[in-house]
């Protein structure tokens, strides 16, 4: 017997929450119903997916492998639901869309199928560049528009910028890290522990700005350009990180759990937005794509 979609959704909820009771509350079912659903899933798969420990549950090797497939199943179902409401538009030509690496990794994969269904006759040219290269490309007419982290964008009067998604930044850590169970955590508390610093998409500059506002700096123990490396180091208990909900995943590639919590001090959100050049004769296909991206990115922000 194949697993049901409900069982897959329950599995994902438990994987993210780390506790059956919390997952049951999220899914609006009783704890006994959640436990029975997980047991039925394990029986259907013929494998144990979780092991219990003092602070909750942990994925087995089989559970970690199934997690990646389960996430794709849920994403496919959401895409299918969205596809029903997408009416194709007969617009042709080429639209050159610039993106930064964060957008490529965490926004673009979900957008491309929607764009292809909405504009089947349109050729979308995606160009991944550094933020300053995208700005010059737009101003010089080599790029029609860009999706990027507008929270990094300086105030420029010669381009139009519209924020589409604001992703809060929270503290990430191993479930048993002392900061994850403390009653209140501020940046001064984080500064007393090893920090894992992500070097991606101007993140180091952002970190320096908001830490500097409090006269503090993180105690950087490890630094990496790979968010998966940061995720793995945090999950292994090597330190903590402050990153946005957009890039959060509850497990590392090795199947170790990552939890997150809010900070008492105010830290800026990671804002994704659309940027284009102000001009009166913008091509119709560019206008149509911009309108579609506004709705699609904001809809993605709900999940």
- Tokens linked to 279: 């001009």
Domains of the chain, each with CATH number or no CATH: 5-84 (1.10.10.10), 94-167+270-300 (3.40.190.10), 169-261 (3.40.190.10)
Query: Which residues are paired to 166 by β-bridges?
Result: 271
| Residue 104, Cβ density class (10 Å: 0-12 exposed, 13-18 middle, ≥19 buried) | middle
Query: Distances from the Cα of 48 to the Cαs of 30, 52, 62, 294, in angstroms?
Result: 21, 11, 7, 42
Question: Which pLDDT band holds residue 83 (cuts at 50, 70, 90)?
Answer: low
Tell whether the model's pLDDT for residue 303 goes beyond 50. no
Question: Which pLDDT band holds residue 86 (cuts at 50, 70, 90)?
Answer: low
Digit-coded pLDDT (tens) for 1-36? 788 999 999 999 888 888 888 889 989 999 999 999
Question: Which pLDDT band holds residue 205 (cuts at 50, 70, 90)?
Answer: very high
Tell whether the model's pLDDT for residue 66 goes beyond 80. yes
Is residue 23 within 8 A of residue 14, CB to CB? The reply is yes
């Amino acid at each position: 017997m194949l697993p049901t979609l409900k069982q897959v959704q329950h599995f994902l909820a438990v994987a993210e929450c780390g506790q059956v009771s919390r997952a049951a509350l999220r899914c609006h079912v009783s704890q006994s119903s959640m436990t029975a659903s997980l047991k039925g899933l394990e029986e259907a798969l013929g494998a144990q997916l979780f092991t219990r420990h003092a602070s909750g549950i942990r994925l087995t090797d089989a559970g970690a492998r199934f997690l990646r497939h389960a996430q794709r199943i849920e994403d496919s179902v959401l895409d299918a639901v969205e596809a029903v409401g997408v009416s194709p538009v007969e617009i042709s030509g080429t639209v050159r869309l610039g993106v930064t690496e964060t957008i490529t990794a965490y926004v673009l994969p979900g957008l491309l199928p929607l764009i292809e269904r909405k504009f089947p006759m349109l050729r979308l040219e995606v160009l991944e560049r550094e933020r300053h290269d995208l700005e010059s490309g737009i101003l010089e007419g080599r790029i029609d528009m860009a999706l990027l982290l507008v929270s990094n964008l300086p105030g420029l009067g010669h381009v139009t910028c519209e924020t589409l998604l604001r992703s809060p930044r929270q503290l990430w850590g191993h479930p048993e890290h002392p900061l994850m169970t403390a009653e209140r955590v501020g940046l001064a508390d984080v500064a007393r522990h090893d920090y894992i610093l992500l070097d991606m998409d101007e993140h180091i500059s952002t970190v320096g700005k908001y830490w500097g506002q409090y006269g503090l700096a993180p105690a950087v123990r490890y630094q990496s350009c790979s968010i998966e490396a940061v995720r793995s180091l945090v999950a292994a208990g090597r330190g903590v990180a402050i990153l946005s909900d957009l890039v959060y995943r509850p497990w590392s590639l090795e199947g170790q759990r990552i939890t997150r919590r809010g900070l008492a001090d105010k830290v800026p959100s990671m804002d994704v937005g659309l940027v284009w050049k102000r001009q009166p004769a913008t091509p119709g296909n560019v206008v149509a794509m911009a309108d579609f991206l506004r709705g699609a990115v904001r809809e993605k922000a709900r999940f």
